[in-house]
Amino acid sequence: MIFDRNEKKAVIALMGAGSMGTAIVRRIASGKKILLGDISEKALERVGEDFSRCGYDVETMQVNALQKESIEAFAQKASDLGPVMYFIDTAGASPNQASPEHIVNLDMVGTGYAVDAFGKVMAQGGAGLIISSQAAYMYPIPNDIELQLVNTPTKELTQVPFIQEVAMQNSGLAYMIAKRMNHLQAQRAAATTWRDRRARINTISPGVIVTPLAYDEFRANGEGYQAMIDASAARRTGTSDEIAEAAAFLLGEHATFITGTDLLVDGGVIASIRTGEYKLGQ
């Protein structure tokens, strides 16, 4: 049975087929073509079958978010399918999952390669979204260093002394700095390559969101996360569906004047930190 006879459908490309990314795609995917990318063939098979059984037009492609060539091939595949109107990047590793080097290479450099690659294929009027983290607000980077980082080509980021001397110290610092760099990468793209294609790009910084992968963090530092949750205004964790609602706004028609910015969706954690109601590490 043919569920959809429409042709030249808008393409949604998702890099990182986890629960948060798939929630975002499901929120906006009706009547569109979906391209799922992930390093795990099992995850692609499982998620792709789920989308297909629910009536969505979906294809999958194995992609290594650490490799520039693999990311570029993924972007080209998306372009071959039709006009790329949406790109969502959720690929990343958390502090208790990986070494500082891996986090820098995946969350920072890999994201930069993805922003660069999709900056060459986005359709006019398209929108991109990088999933960053509230951690981006937890380590202030001096303005002169941020200016240096935002003007450094992606392939040279790991050679910046600040990255070598600070981000590589431990996984927590690597994660906070990489996620702040996501904001800078979106700003740079919004003002240059994505602007030239008349496309927008933004970031979302989620707080404590319950996903299957989040349990690695909870197991490693449950008391710390509990204190953070208790000190927040919301006094609870968030869900992938709540992030999907925010993402649908930034990707949609009501946000066409918004580009190069970050939306913090954290239940008030960063507000608690800045007012002294919660201290990191307490």
179: annotated active-site residue: yes
State the Cα angle at 136 between 135 and 138, rounded to 5°. Answer: 60
9: annotated active-site residue: no
| Beta-carbon-side half-sphere exposure of residue 62 (alpha carbons within 13 Å) | 6
> For helices 171-191 and 143-150, what crossing angle results, to 10°?
60
CA distance 235 to 196: 42
Residue 93: both structure tokens together = 């590793």
The one catalytic residue in 175, 215, 278, 279 is 175
**Contacts of range 66-74, beta carbons closer than 8 Å, 24 or more positions apart:** 66/105, 66/106, 66/109, 66/110, 68/113, 68/117, 68/155, 71/15, 71/110, 71/113, 71/114, 71/117, 72/113, 72/117, 74/13, 74/15, 74/35, 74/37, 74/117
Annotate 219-235 with DSSP letters as a single string.
HHHHHHHHHHHHHSSS-
The one catalytic residue in 179, 215, 278, 279 is 179
Nearest to 179 by CA among 135, 144, 216: 135
8 A C-beta contact, residue 240 and residue 19 = yes
Residue 268: both structure tokens together = 């008030």
Residue with tokens 């202030």: 140
| Catalytic residue ranges | 175, 179
